[in-house]
């Protein structure tokens, strides 16, 4: 293990942890924001927004899984699972959505910690075509959609 791996891979894993579980510079993490949202609120379609909170969470989960798939086997996951619509959302289903987010995070976080420093420069599909770029984009994506969830929750709280 080189010094760069210890610093950069550890930093990326830490930032992923912060984006989902807490301590992020930008404000509350995804799980911190979701802890105050119940199933009824998560499933409500907000005025002026095409997606309910639950759809944003499933979208974040989708892209965590996509990042893992790209790193682990160089493949994308099928886009048909992205932005699923919810007709009704039970408390049990909401609990499962949160559990799925946690599992996707855990899988990607473990994969990041197993990376070698040389892998960060591997070619990867996407707008910043390296593993490093994919991970930085994933962090930005988490922050953006968590912010959207905050705005929707505020609007619904009235």
Q: Is residue 21 part of a domain?
A: no
φ and ψ at residue 34, rounded to 5 degrees? -70, -20
Long-range contacts of 135-142 (CB under 8 A, 24+ apart): 135/12, 135/16, 135/67, 136/12, 138/16, 138/63, 138/64, 138/67, 138/108, 139/12, 139/15, 139/16, 139/19, 141/60, 141/63, 142/16, 142/19, 142/20, 142/30, 142/60, 142/64
The pLDDT, as a whole number, for residue 102 is 97
φ, ψ for residue 45, nearest 5 deg: -80, 120
Any idea what the CATH number is for the domain that residue 45 is in? 1.20.120.450
* Residue 139 forms part of a structural domain: yes
In-domain check, residue 113? yes
- Structural domain for 111, as ranges: 29-74+82-157
- pLDDT for residue 113: 93
pLDDT in the model for residue 1: 45
Q: What is the pLDDT of residue 83?
A: 84
pLDDT of residue 45: 83
Given a cut of 50, the residues of the chain with pLDDT beneath it are 1, 4-5
Domain count of the chain? 1
pTM for the model: 0.91
């Amino acid at each position: 293990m080189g010094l760069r791996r210890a610093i950069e891979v550890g930093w990326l894993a830490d930032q992923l942890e912060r984006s989902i579980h807490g301590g992020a510079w930008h404000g509350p993490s995804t799980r911190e924001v979701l802890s105050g949202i119940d199933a009824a609120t998560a499933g409500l379609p907000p005025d002026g927004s095409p997606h309910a909170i639950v759809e944003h969470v499933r979208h974040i989960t989708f892209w965590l899984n996509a990042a893992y798939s790209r790193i682990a086997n160089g493949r994308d996951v099928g886009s048909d699972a992205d932005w699923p619509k919810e007709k009704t959302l039970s408390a049990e289903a909401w609990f499962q959505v949160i559990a799925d987010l946690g599992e996707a995070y855990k899988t990607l976080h473990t994969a990041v910690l197993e990376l070698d420093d040389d892998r960060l420069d591997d070619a990867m599909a996407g707008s910043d075509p390296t593993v490093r770029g994919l991970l930085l984009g994933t962090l930005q994506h988490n922050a953006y959609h968590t912010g959207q969830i905050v705005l929707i929750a505020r609007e619904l709280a009235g």
